[in-house]
Structures are given as structure tokens and as C-alpha cells.
Amino acid sequence: GAVVSQHPSRVICKSGTSVKIECRSLDFQATTMFWYRQFPKQSLMLMATSNEGSKATYEQGVEKDKFLINHASLTLSTLTVTSAHPEDSSFYICSARAGTGSYGYTFGSGTRLTVV
Amino acid sequence: AQKVTQAQTEISVVEKEDVTLDCVYETRDTTYYLFWYKQPPSGELVFLIRRNSFDEQNEISGRYSWNFQKSTSSFNFTITASQVVDSAVYFCALSEIRAADEDDDKIIFGKGTRLHILP
């Protein structure tokens, strides 16, 4: 089945530093990937839609310069949290659509970011 | 605008009881997908089902069943003979189907229902 690999699963960083999260589709090509954020006991909120070879489309209220998204190839999208602050601590999860078949959307296993 | 409402924030039932998780959605589109995902404590999202808006047949998969009622815009999920391993947060979600630009569709999630199965 379609697999999306997300790394790292957990990261702790100091306030002011940047953190990069990778999302890879392992056995399919994903022209579009999605990045979500989830606060504790909250739903997943879509942050941005990442399109291969073009600029990401950000949802209202999401800072483009804060959350840099790069989709350099059909199998890799990255989210960089720049100048992280404690309020950026959250669970970040990516997903990719593996075509129109029964797989639908496949999600990565998520990254728990803690900014200290 | 799209919206998914899961009115039940938290449910606790005793093991072996049946439990139904409610999901009501709003969309102006006539074609869309509905999903259910399970999120165990480890955090990853586990895909359970995707239903096309054209297909109103109910579905059963083992102890899981789904009731899709287009007339009431509901897509409820029932677990029969619940087990402790079913304890998780369950998300209902909606995605439009855009035939012309299908790669750009996105999923809108409900707030989730936290299910506790008590031994």
C-alpha cells in the first residue's frame, strides 16, 4: 500500500532555531502533499498545500515566512519552522494523495515538535 | 463552505458495548468524499474508510460499520462489541472532488471524538 514516511518523529529545539521536517512518499509519486498541525486534544488544521515545483498554498492565518514549505520532487516535501518559539510546539503531520484509488490520502506518522 | 461537525467530544463505554460516533457535514458540492480516521495515542492517523458521495450504501468491515445518510448529511460510525484497543480519537473528514484539478483537493477534519473503552 501507499506509504508516507515522515521524519523526525520527535524533535526538541531551542527557541530561535529552525527545524526541518521531511515528508516522503515511498512507493508512489505525490504531486501534492498537505501539511497539518494539531494542538493537544484538538483537530488537525490544514496549514498549507504543497505542490511539486511550485509555491505552496497557505491557509489563512498561516505565516508563509514562518513555515517554509519546499516540494522539490515528486516524493519529497519539507516543512521548515523558522525561528521557532514555544508557541510553535505542536504535532505536525503531512499527507499525500496516492491517486484516485481506494488508498485515498495517506498520512505520515507525524512529528512532535517541542520548542524550549 | 465545508464544515464537519462531531458533536461528541468524548465518549466512554464499557468493553463489549456498541458505540456510535456521529458526524454531520456541510458542503455546497454535490460530489465529495467522506472519511473516517483513527488516531491512537501514538499520534499517527489510521485510515478507516473513504466514501464517495454517489454511493450511499452502508458499509460493514468486521466490527466497524458506517451509515451514510445524504438526506441528513450524516456519516455515522458504529463499533460493535467494542474492545479496549479501540480507544483512540476518531476523526470524520470531508474532501471535495474537483475533476478538473483533482490534485488540489484537501481534507477538512472534524474536531474528533475521543473514545474510551473501559475494561
Q: Which helix (H) or strand (E) holds A70?
A: strand A67-73
Query: Testing the interface with B: which of A9, A32, A44 to mutate, by most B Cβ within 10 A?
Result: A44
Here the cell at position A113 is: 515538535
pLDDT at A99: 56
pLDDT at A20: 97
pLDDT at B101: 47
Cβ(B107)–Cβ(B18) below 8 Å:
no
Dihedral sign computed on CA atoms, order B10, A36, A93, B33: positive
pLDDT at A105: 76
pLDDT above 70 covers a percentage of chain A that reads 93
pLDDT at A101: 44
Residues of chain B contacting residue A44, judged by C-beta atoms under 8 Å apart: 45, 91, 109
pLDDT tens-digit profile of B30-61? 888 899 999 888 778 888 998 889 888 888 99
pLDDT at A103: 47
pLDDT at B99 over 60: no
Q: What is the C-alpha separation between B82 and B56, in angstroms, rounded?
A: 25
Query: Testing the interface with A: which of B50, B103, B105 to mutate, by most A Cβ within 10 A?
Result: B103
Q: Does B3 touch chain A (CB under 8 A)?
A: no
User: Mean pLDDT for chain A?
Assistant: 88
Distances (CA, A) of B107 to A81, B37, B50: 22, 11, 11
Decide the pairing of beta strands B113-118 and B10-14: parallel
Cβ(A98)–Cβ(A3) below 8 Å:
no
DSSP 8-state assignment for residue A84? -
Contacts of B107 (CB under 8 A, 6+ apart): A34, A46, A95, A105, B35, B93, B94, B95
pLDDT at B81: 97
pLDDT tens-digit profile of A75-106? 999 999 999 999 999 999 999 876 554 346 78
Q: What are the DSSP E strand ranges found in chain B?
A: 3-5, 10-14, 19-21, 24-26, 32-39, 46-52, 59-61, 64-69, 74-79, 88-96, 107-109, 113-118
Strand partners for A48? A35, A58
pLDDT at A98: 63
Highest average pLDDT, of A26-35, B15-24, B30-39, B47-56, comes from B15-24
Partner-chain residue, chosen from B35, B43, B112, that has the shortest CB–CB distance to A104: B35
Residues of chain B contacting residue A91, judged by C-beta atoms under 8 Å apart: 43
* Mean pLDDT confidence for B1-22: 95
